A = this chain, B = another copy of it.
């Protein structure tokens, strides 16, 4: 059996109250001598408080949950790393929950975590959530009075903090970079049109085009699925449109395009410039390191925990929306547009 506070009481002759007091630093008026005997006993008997019991009475467990779709996705694993590192600093523990983008799992994890007494939840809504489903999740949080911060996706209606990245800016930066390199026929391989982040990047793309007074042409837009395969078919399509540069809305589809062009013997960046989005660790390892838009995922994880901490401490109120600016990482996959090419 583990040593309990009672054991310490018996051993030292003091009452459990006194023990508890000194262990929780509420021992203003307890003489150093008794403090010391107690601390010694704690050491000697190797006493460690049972956190379940503590949690039961304090209604605080120093534990939070992280709900994401899939840790094996590099985006999320980096996020999780940031989250866990920050938790460790705070002396917290982290529950990891993968929903695989199933909304019903969002719901069941939220409830399960609440039942286990977490102090708060970091919530990356599942992708199959339409507005109605999203509100369902939010309502559940509210019903449970569970502090939470939304990551990567945000809902106006939610009374919570959030940390997101400005994808409009990201899309804008990537496109502008291409434009600055003289490209005008810039194809893009988007993500699924339902996804807000894809729409945002698209908005950024258009904004840059506008700013440079390059007419938007919808035949230069290919709707991909954020995966390699659709990146490859996207490249096939755009090549036929005779683009000089491709902006893939995530690195995975950029890889697909990259490989396809390689197969076809099309040189990057000499013949076609390519730019990605995400900055997966792999992108810099390619033969032609990929120029891409970096999302500060790890930092977002850290910040999310801090927001949650604020939320937990202050009993709501914070409700801040922290926006991270993505940053363009210049590598080798973009070159000036060849003058030789017509138009």
**A contact residues vs B (CB 8 Å cutoff):** 2, 48-53, 55-56, 61, 63, 66, 70-74, 77-78, 80-81, 84-85, 88, 93-98, 105, 111-117, 144, 228, 255, 259, 262-263, 282, 285-287, 298
Contacts and interface: CB of A to CB of B under 8 A. Distances in A.
A116 B98 contact: no
B94 A95 contact: yes
Nearest to A105: B88
A96 B80 contact: yes
Contacts of A95: 93-96
B81 A116 contact: no
B77 A72 contact: yes
Q: Shortest 10 CB-CB distances between A and B: which pairs?
A: A77-B77, A72-B81, A96-B96, A51-B116, A51-B115, A52-B117, A52-B56, A52-B55, A262-B287, A72-B77
29 contacts: A48-B111, A50-B56, A50-B115, A51-B115, A52-B56, A52-B117, A66-B96, A71-B71, A71-B77, A71-B84, A72-B74, A72-B77, A72-B80, A72-B81, A74-B74, A77-B77, A77-B80, A80-B96, A81-B98, A84-B98, A85-B98, A88-B98, A93-B95, A94-B95, A95-B96, A259-B285, A259-B287, A263-B287, A282-B282
B56 A285 contact: no
Contacts of A73: 77
Nearest to A111: B48
B116 A52 contact: yes
Contacts of A61: 52, 116
A94 B67 CA distance: 11
Contact of A116 (B56, B63, B72, B255): B63
A286 to B, nearest CB: 8
Contacts of A50: 56, 115, 117
A247 to B, nearest CB: 19
